């Protein structure tokens, strides 16, 4: 044979092998589809969860860029002047800086007093609110509000609204200081609503689960033009800074964080100088008018003749006045800067945490489907090799190499993975992220748009992962058969020899089994690998559904646990300190109030000792002589009661959410900063179970010791109330209090529970998604194994049909094996699902939520019932295959 003829022959051989490979796909379509579907689901989940994580963070990044969001913010105890802002603009690495003026105010919504924060738009367009409708203010008496304000107040663009100074910018201010804080930063009178905006500093959906869980009072952000500021020389309340080159970087990327950190160090370098300069400026402003008056009283005292008693008295008074001035100046606080990056924004940190959480799930979930895909592909390819046993022997006898003979099965498995992987990428990278970001993320955040970022690296990587492992499994299966010689391969494979099974040794059980029961038992032990795969498939399906239903049950019991086990009060009411005595007397006389606990409540910040991690919390201070009993049950996770340390030392109880976030333990230390930015290290005397939000609880003695023994008398500004009546009556009582002008915020625990259940649609979508994935898993695995079982036992089943077994008897003969294995899988899958739920909830890490795994009996029942339903549906489909068995063809001896 010439070389040309040899090449022609080899070319024809390859063509024949490729035709045989593609013919195998059409001839084994169901197995092909099973592998493709499992691969599609695995690749889809990997791509979808990774894309959603990327889209979420990229959405915030774009939103911050559109709003020219600050990279660094600075607060000062004495505010800022133009010299401070100019100095910040000159710092190396700083692109721009601006001073902001804002004030806490109150307004009326349906006759109720509501809290708001009014901010003047910066002249450098930093921290610009995102405009959703209308326009931004451009005149003194124009204002832009949020969509939540319009929805709650019933107002529209073009309507007028008014506000007045809150007088409680810091809840620790004393009554004597309240008059001073009543002076308004902004001009009085009506303001015309000209636009609807989103505040970039707070993107949490006010009606979503994150807002409801936090339990914080609603504060409406509002924005006015700079001309609305009543005193153009008034100090700025804060300074915001943008960093050169930061806008072009990913706000969560290491490059961005390093760039901002460098700029922050440069700002720290001028901090001491500017703090001293601002302190001197404020003291000079307080000293000069007084000294000028004293000096004038001196162009008069010195003119009096010496020796006059009147002159002596005047000189003494002048000396006393000078001494008082010196004391006042010495007691005045010094300027103190607090420099923070975007991590200080709760929304920024939350999005980062949730993005990382979704990304972790994107790596974990596909592992289960990868394992199942390997099992399914092993079963499918193994059966194909067994069916082609004689053909493989023929190929080897004709001189085909191992690689040529293996080509058919490698093409088959590769094609299944590629088809499934492409479908999975299309759904996972395009379909699900679009639906989830457009529909579900808006329940959590008010970011207007999210980019759909297609990361083909993840998509291609997922396909390659499945391809390598599944094709590798196909190679392993083929290699075992290709080791045999052609003569052995062309003979039918000898059936497995019968063995005494374990159950036969248990006489009191075996002897009571029927004939068909014994046959079923023998078959289960005969096909151990297939039985194991059925159990594993059903186990995975049941575990997923148990975890899904348990997740929903755990979420729905979150608020009842919070208000039945921990926060057992009915209403929390906040007032200005100056109004507290008045409302306290009114509450004491109210017949609907069973009891009331006066408290001091303010916003505070916790900082971990060894890191820069900061967390905003609600600080509750219990007055001397009062007890939390009946209002707040502080206990550890295992139920051990925690008592407040009444010794005079800086000590506090923190809740589990805050402790986990900051890595705290009982006996440790954490830095606590109050609303005035005074900070001190406090001892953590206990970590209390708390399901929603983050609080710190301390006694009045501990509070005084923490922030100075010479602190003013504790200003009470809140009450925890126990109220008569059912939930509706308690909600109505809270609404009645909210209508009174003295209250800044009134929260009903019953209303929180009701609203929370309505807003938690995101969890129910996750449950539905998990159940669908579990159904796909169960149906594919069970159908593949059931079909393989029937094809392998076709001669056996034909024999019993010839012996007179009726159609239903044949169905029962095969199906009860599957149902028995399903029962075993379900029994093991239920406790595994409980463990999976604990793992998933540990990975969720939702901000402010401590979701404790809780699986009710009906969750287990629903998971078990659905698993059986899936098995029955598969049996209905495979029963048709049993009915179509050709008894004559199946019983023919192989030639």
User: Does residue 789 carry a pLDDT above 70?
Assistant: yes
How many structural domains does the chain have? 4
pLDDT band of residue 865 (cuts 50, 70, 90) is very high
Kindly state the average pLDDT of the residues 734-754.
Answer: 82
pLDDT of residue 470: 87
pLDDT in tens, 208-256: 666 666 656 678 899 999 888 887 778 898 999 999 999 889 888 889 9
Return d(Cα 568, Cα 310) in angstroms, integer: 68
Q: 219 and 332: one domain?
A: no
Q: Residue holding tokens 């169905």? A: 811
pLDDT of residue 895: 44
pLDDT band of residue 353 (cuts 50, 70, 90) is confident
671-697 per-residue burial string, b: 16 or more CB within 10 A, e: under 16: ebbbbbebbeebbbbbbbbbbbbbbbb
Q: 551 and 640: one domain?
A: no
Q: What is the mean pLDDT of the chain?
A: 81
Is residue 225 one of the residues assigned to a domain? yes
pLDDT of residue 142: 92
Q: 710 and 757: one domain?
A: no
The kind and range of the H/E element at 102 are strand 102-109
Return d(Cα 275, Cα 62) in angstroms, integer: 34
For residue 276, CA distances in Å to 72, 270, 284, 673 come to 21, 10, 12, 22
pLDDT of residue 761: 65
Q: 810 and 755: one domain?
A: yes
Q: 893 and 760: one domain?
A: yes
Kindly state the average pLDDT of the residues 134-148.
Answer: 91
User: What are the tokens at 242?
Assistant: 């943008």
pLDDT in tens, 524-573: 777 777 788 888 888 888 988 898 888 888 878 888 888 888 888 988 88
Reported in sequence order, the residue ranges of 539-677 that DSSP labels E, i.e. its strands, are: 571-575, 593-608, 614-622, 651-655, 669-673
Q: 706 and 757: one domain?
A: no
Whole-model pTM?
0.73
Q: 893 and 808: one domain?
A: yes
For residue 416, CA distances in Å to 373, 403, 786 come to 11, 19, 20
pLDDT in tens, 581-613: 888 888 888 888 888 889 998 888 888 776 667
Phi and psi at 570, nearest 5°, equal -105, -35
pLDDT of residue 89: 92
Query: Under 8 Å CB-to-CB from 715, ≥6 apart: which residues?
Result: 171, 172, 173, 174, 175, 577, 580, 600
pLDDT in tens, 817-850: 888 888 999 999 999 999 988 888 877 766 667 7
Residue where one domain finishes, among candidates 275, 310, 344 = 344
> Which of 759, 843, 842 lies closest to 210, judged by CA?
759
Q: 758 and 891: one domain?
A: yes
pLDDT in tens, 635-675: 888 888 888 866 658 788 888 888 887 888 888 888 888 77
pLDDT of residue 193: 93
pLDDT of residue 191: 92
The kind and range of the H/E element at 669 are strand 669-673
User: Does residue 177 carry a pLDDT above 70?
Assistant: no
Supply the DSSP symbol for 717.
-
Is residue 7 one of the residues assigned to a domain? no
Return d(Cα 506, Cα 516) in angstroms, integer: 17
Kindly state the average pLDDT of the residues 94-99.
Answer: 92
pLDDT of residue 649: 80
Reported in sequence order, the residue ranges of 728-843 that DSSP labels E, i.e. its strands, are: 743-748
Return d(Cα 688, Cα 508) in angstroms, integer: 55
pLDDT of residue 775: 83
* Higher pLDDT among residues 481 and 703, named by residue: 703
Q: 556 and 604: one domain?
A: no
For residue 654, the SS3 value is strand
Is residue 354 one of the residues assigned to a domain? no
Return d(Cα 624, Cα 602) in angstroms, integer: 17
Domain hosting residue 317, numbered range: 287-344
Return d(Cα 883, Cα 885) in angstroms, integer: 6
Is residue 622 one of the residues assigned to a domain? yes
For residue 699, the SS3 value is strand
- Percent of the chain, pLDDT > 90? 12
pLDDT of residue 170: 34
Q: 190 and 299: one domain?
A: no
pLDDT band of residue 181 (cuts 50, 70, 90) is very low
Give the β-pairing of 112-120 and 219-224.
parallel
Which spans in 244-398 are helix H?
254-297, 309-331, 346-387, 389-397
Least confident range of 150-159, 343-352, 706-715, 833-842? 706-715
Strand partners, 687: 654
For residue 216, the SS3 value is coil
pLDDT in tens, 376-433: 788 778 878 877 788 888 888 888 888 888 888 888 888 889 999 999 999 888 888 8
Is residue 818 one of the residues assigned to a domain? yes
Q: 893 and 755: one domain?
A: yes
pLDDT of residue 647: 61
Is residue 394 one of the residues assigned to a domain? no
> Which of 1, 141, 215, 173 lies closest to 674, judged by CA?
173
Q: 796 and 674: one domain?
A: no
For residue 443, CA distances in Å to 108, 345, 718, 740 come to 27, 19, 30, 31
Return d(Cα 783, Cα 794) in angstroms, integer: 16
Query: Under 8 Å CB-to-CB from 312, ≥6 apart: which residues?
Result: none
């Amino acid at each position: 044979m010439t070389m040309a003829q040899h090449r022609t022959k080899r070319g024809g051989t390859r063509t024949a092998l490729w035709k045989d490979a593609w013919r195998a796909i059409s001839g084994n379509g169901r197995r092909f589809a099973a592998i493709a579907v499992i691969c599609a689901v695995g690749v889809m989940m990997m791509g979808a969860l990774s894309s959603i994580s990327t889209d979420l963070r990229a959405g915030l990044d774009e939103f911050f860029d559109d709003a020219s969001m600050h990279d660094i913010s600075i607060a000062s105890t004495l505010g800022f002047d133009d010299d401070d802002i100019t100095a910040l603009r000159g710092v190396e690495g700083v692109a721009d800086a601006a001073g902001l003026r804002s004030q806490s105010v109150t307004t009326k919504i349906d006759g109720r007093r509501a809290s708001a924060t009014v901010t003047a738009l910066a002249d450098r367009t930093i921290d610009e609110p995102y405009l959703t409708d209308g326009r931004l203010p451009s005149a003194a008496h124009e204002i832009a509000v949020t969509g939540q304000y319009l929805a709650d107040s019933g107002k529209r663009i073009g309507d007028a609204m008014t506000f007045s100074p809150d007088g409680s910018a810091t809840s620790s201010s004393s009554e004597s200081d309240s008059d001073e804080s009543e002076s308004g930063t902004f001009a009085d009178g009506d303001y015309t609503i000209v636009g609807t905006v989103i505040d970039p500093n707070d993107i949490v959906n006010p009606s979503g689960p994150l807002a409801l869980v936090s339990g914080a009072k609603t504060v409406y952000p509002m924005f006015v033009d700079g001309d609305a500021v009543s005193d153009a020389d008034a100090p700025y309340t804060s300074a915001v800074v943008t960093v050169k080159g930061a806008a072009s970087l990913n706000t969560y990327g290491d490059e961005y964080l390093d760039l901002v950190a460098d700029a922050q160090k440069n700002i720290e370098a001028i901090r001491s100088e500017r703090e001293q300069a601002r302190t001197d400026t404020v003291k000079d402003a307080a000293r000069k008018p007084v000294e000028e008056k004293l000096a004038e009283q001196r162009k008069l005292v010195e003119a009096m003749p010496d020796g006059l008693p009147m002159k002596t008295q005047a000189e003494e008074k002048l000396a006393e006045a000078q001494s008082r001035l010196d004391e006042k100046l010495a007691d005045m606080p010094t300027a103190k800067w607090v420099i923070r990056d975007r991590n200080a924004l709760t929304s920024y940190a939350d999005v980062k945490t949730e993005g990382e959480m979704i990304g972790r799930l994107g790596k974990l979930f596909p592992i289960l489907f990868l394992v199942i895909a390997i099992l399914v592909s092993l079963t499918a390819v193994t059966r194909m090799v067994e069916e082609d046993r004689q053909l493989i022997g023929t190929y080897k006898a004709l001189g085909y190499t191992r690689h040529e003979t293996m080509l058919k099965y490698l093409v088959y498995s590769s094609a299944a993975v590629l088809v499934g992987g492409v479908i999975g990428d299309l759904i996972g990278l395009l379909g699900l992220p679009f639906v989830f970001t457009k529909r579900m993320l808006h329940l959590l955040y008010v970011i207007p748009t999210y980019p759909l970022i297609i990361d083909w690296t993840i998509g291609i990587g997922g396909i390659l992962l499945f391809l390598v492992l599944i094709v590798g499994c196909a190679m392993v299966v083929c290699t075992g058969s290709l080791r045999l010689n052609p003569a052995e391969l062309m003979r039918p494979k000898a059936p497995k020899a019968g063995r005494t099974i374990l159950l036969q040794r248990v006489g009191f059980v075996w002897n009571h089994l029927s004939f068909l029961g014994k046959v079923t038992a023998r078959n289960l032990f005969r096909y151990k690998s297939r039985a194991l795969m059925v159990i594993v498939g059903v186990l995975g399906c049941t575990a997923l559904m148990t975890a899904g239903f348990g997740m929903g049950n755990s979420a729905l019991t979150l608020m009842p646990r919070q208000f039945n086990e921990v926060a057992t009060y009915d209403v929390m009411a906040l007032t200005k300190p100056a109004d507290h005595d008045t409302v306290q007397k009114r509450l004491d006389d109210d017949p609907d109030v069973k009891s009331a606990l006066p408290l001091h409540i303010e916003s505070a910040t916790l900082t971990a000792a060894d890191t820069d991690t900061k967390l905003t919390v609600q600080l509750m201070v219990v007055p001397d002589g009062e007890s939390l009993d009946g209002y707040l049950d502080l206990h550890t996770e295992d139920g051990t009661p925690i008592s407040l340390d009444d010794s005079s030392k800086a000590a506090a109880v923190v809740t589990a959410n805050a402790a986990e976030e900051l890595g705290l333990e009982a006996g440790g230390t954490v830095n606590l900063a109050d609303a005035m930015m005074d900070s001190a290290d406090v001892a953590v005397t206990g970590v209390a179970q708390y399901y929603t939000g983050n609080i710190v609880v301390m006694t009045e003695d501990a509070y005084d010791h923490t922030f100075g023994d010479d602190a003013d008398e504790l200003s009470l500004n809140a009450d925890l109330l126990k109220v008569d009546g059912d939930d509706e009556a308690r909600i109505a009582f809270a609404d009645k209090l909210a209508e009174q002008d003295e209250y800044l915020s009134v929260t009903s625990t019953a209303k929180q529970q009701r609203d929370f259940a309505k807003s938690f649609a995101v969890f129910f979508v996750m449950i539905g998604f998990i159940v669908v994935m579990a159904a796909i898993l169960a149906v594919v695995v069970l159908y593949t194994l059931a079909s393989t079982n029937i094809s392998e036992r076709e001669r056996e089943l034909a024999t019993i049909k010839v012996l007179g077994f009726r159609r239903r008897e044949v169905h029962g003969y095969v199906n009860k094996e599957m149902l028995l294995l399903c029962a075993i899988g379900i029994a093991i899958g239920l406790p595994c699902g409980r463990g999976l739920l604990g793992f998933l909830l540990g990975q969720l890490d939702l901000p402010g939520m401590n979701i404790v795994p809780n699986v009710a009996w009906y969750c287990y029942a629903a998971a078990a019932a659905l698993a059986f339903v899936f098995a029955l549906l598969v049996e209905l489909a495979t029963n048709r295959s049993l009915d179509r068995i050709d008894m004559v063809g199946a019983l023919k001896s192989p030639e």
